[in-house]
Structure 1
């Protein structure tokens, strides 16, 4: 996940970080689920 240190990659390749985006989407979905009120 440290592609920004790889000088052989273009800026577009560094910014097109699908793995990191997928990780954060999953993380935020889990946080949202954890704070959602329980059904009454």
Structure 2
């Protein structure tokens, strides 16, 4: 993709991507512990 090829700071983009994935994982774990995912049973 062109935006990644023209990126001058790949470290910052990596940090943003990892932080977003971490936030989503934490949200999923929180919902799982609260029992909100019981619809799958």
- Structure 2 residue ranges without an equivalent (≥5): 36-41
> When you count helix as a share of all residues, which structure comes out higher?
2
Please provide the CA RMSD for this pair: 2.6
Residues matched between the structures, number? 32
Structure 1 residue ranges (4+ consecutive) displaced by more than 2 angstroms after TM superposition: 4-10
2:16 — aligned with what?
19
Structure with larger RCO (C-alpha < 8 A, sep 6+): 1
